[in-house]
Structure 1
Amino acid sequence: MANNDTIKKTVIVALSLCIVCSVVVSTAAVMLKPMQVANKALDFKRNILLAAGLMEEGKSVDELFKQVNTRLVDLNTGKFTDAVNVDTYDQRKASKDPKQSEKLSADTDIAKIGSRENIAKVYLVEKDGQLDKVILPIKGYGLWSTLYGFIALEADLNTVVGLGFYEHAETPGLGGEVDNPKWKALWVGKEVYDNGDVALDVIKGQAPAGDAHKVDGISGATLTSRGVGNLVQFWMGENGYASFLTHLKNGEA
């Protein structure tokens, strides 16, 4: 009777099992990828709607997103552009491409992003033919990671509707509190500009009562709080959306 416990047979069985498992895993990954991509796109839309306060119970994300008009803005001119396809344009990828981005100086790069894409996607909501809200992508470095999110403004292009992040790796319970609904609620109604200058900021400790431009810092997360304040000031400033918002307000975008 043949001995089935030889080293050769053991290796063959183990190798065969590894091959079978790798084929199963690879096949599953390929088959599930379209679903993963679709879910990621759906979550992206959901976060845009959340920032703008447009989520409604009982309605699908795709249904609600029909009221959002996606446009492209040339951040160097502050005006709308059709230079690239809005449906296929990858803003994050563009920010890493020297041909599609601008390297920032140390003094300018308060958000610590290294380079800024030349073209950004913006999201407009209209009611009765008039601008109702604008949602702008924002990003910047916190303590451990780059935070990616959105800030939404009212039609006056100054009053904050909401702010939220959909991706980051900040410390849970500390910097991760940027996801806390109570902290995000502090942004609602704040004003970005004061006499044309970016005044919106996150301060250490509690903001003075009635201050329209300051948001409470997150307890125990000074660097994350500072990072959020810096990224908001960068993207709302002259190297971000300030020129676009001015053109949009004056009907010149």
Structure 2
Amino acid sequence: MNRDSNAYTFIFAAIMVVIVATTLAFAATSLKPRQDENVRIEKMQNILSTIGIEASKEEAQETYEKYITEELALDNNGEIVVEGEEAFKIDLAKEVKKDEEQQRFPLYVADIEGKKYYVIPLRGAGLWDAIWGYIALENDVSTVKGAVFDHKGETPGLGAEITQAWFQERFENEKIYDTSGNFVGVTVQKGYSGGNDKDDNAVDAISGATITGDGVTAMIKDRLEYYLSYLKEQNSKVALK
């Protein structure tokens, strides 16, 4: 075949497209198990981080199994519908797209030296795309033990700062109920002047990231509401002991 012909050029290009596509497909398939494992380990690390436990990738599995005693998923009425590994595998990004009645709400129960903590996955919307994270409540189901946040496309130096430890630490010991016992969550407040007040249900916002902060506020309140009945029941059991 004449290498200078249009036919040769088209055939050569088609063959190269097939070769490249096949190579990329093979690479993606080969790497997927490793990618899935990395996601699983990172999830464990994030859950542990909310309760003040840091673990390397190598230690994550063992540490997670040491401190996380229950993996649950609730329905929208607060009833347990899934337990164990199936609950851990729930993809919140897919769940939030379902009707409320069809969603499952994952929950992880931790035990540190006999003290229980409840870790709740979060997902919401930032300025440009999805934001997500985990928040842990102490046994009184009102006090925040810790929180971690992440994002898909927030602005570097602004909204993306929700991933920084200094911002996440602001949530520690905050309350999700006000002094009258009403559920209010934790507000990321622009112009906050409460200092270190842990009873005002608010933390200082990130300068220049108002919409992302509002997204964090809404995410916490909207997601936690589904867990309130279950958490109140657990707190009542503790009070009866």
Q: TM-score, normalised by structure 1?
A: 0.81
Aligned partner of 2:172 in structure 1 is 188
| Bigger Cα displacement from structure 2, 4-13 vs 79-88 | 79-88
1:132 counterpart (102, 107, 116): 116
Aligned partner of 2:233 in structure 1 is 247
Offset of residue 217 of structure 1: 0.9
Q: Is the 8 A contact 2:88 2:106 kept in 1?
A: no
Q: Is the 8 A contact 2:72 2:83 kept in 1?
A: no
Aligned partner of 1:145 in structure 2 is 129
Offset of residue 10 of structure 1: 2.7
Aligned partner of 1:81 in structure 2 is 81
Aligned partner of 2:35 in structure 1 is 36
Whole-angstrom CA distance in 1 between matches of 2:63 and 2:83: 27
Identical pairs, percent: 29
Whole-angstrom CA distance in 2 between matches of 1:118 and 1:4: 59
CA gap of 1:176–1:9, structure 2 versus 1, over 3 A, is: same
Offset of residue 45 of structure 1: 1.6
1:197 counterpart (182, 185, 210): 182
Whole-angstrom CA distance in 1 between matches of 2:124 and 2:103: 16
Q: What pairs up with 1:17-36 in 2 under 5 angstroms?
A: 17-36=16-35
Offset of residue 58 of structure 1: 8.6
Q: Does 1:208 align with 2:194?
A: yes
**What amino acid does structure 1 have at the position aligned with 2:75?**
D
Please give the secondary structure, in 2, of the residue aligned with 1:250: helix
Q: Does 1:217 align with 2:208?
A: no
Aligned partner of 1:168 in structure 2 is 152
Please give the secondary structure, in 2, of the residue aligned with 1:193: coil
Please give the secondary structure, in 2, of the residue aligned with 1:147: strand
CA gap of 1:87–1:230, structure 2 versus 1, over 3 A, is: closer
Q: What stretches of structure 1 move > 6 A for 4+ residues in a row?
A: none
Whole-angstrom CA distance in 2 between matches of 1:90 and 1:48: 14
Aligned partner of 2:61 in structure 1 is 62
Whole-angstrom CA distance in 2 between matches of 1:138 and 1:62: 22
Please give the secondary structure, in 1, of the residue aligned with 2:117: strand
Please give the secondary structure, in 1, of the residue aligned with 2:87: coil
Whole-angstrom CA distance in 2 between matches of 1:168 and 1:248: 34
Whole-angstrom CA distance in 1 between matches of 2:211 and 2:8: 57
Higher relative contact order (CA 8 A, sep 6+): 1
Aligned partner of 1:114 in structure 2 is none
Whole-angstrom CA distance in 2 between matches of 1:58 and 1:144: 30
**What amino acid does structure 2 have at the position aligned with 1:95?**
V
Please give the secondary structure, in 1, of the residue aligned with 2:37: helix
Whole-angstrom CA distance in 1 between matches of 2:41 and 2:149: 15
Whole-angstrom CA distance in 2 between matches of 1:58 and 1:11: 48
Whole-angstrom CA distance in 1 between matches of 2:59 and 2:121: 22
Offset of residue 150 of structure 1: 0.7
Q: What pairs up with 1:92-131 in 2 under 5 angstroms?
A: 92-98=93-99, 101-102=100-101, 118-127=103-112, 130-131=114-115
Whole-angstrom CA distance in 2 between matches of 1:49 and 1:74: 24
Offset of residue 94 of structure 1: 3.2
How many residues matched? 231
Q: Is the 8 A contact 1:190 1:214 kept in 2?
A: yes
Whole-angstrom CA distance in 2 between matches of 1:18 and 1:58: 38
Q: Which runs of 5+ in 1 are unaligned?
A: 103-116
Whole-angstrom CA distance in 2 between matches of 1:17 and 1:193: 62
Offset of residue 167 of structure 1: 3.5
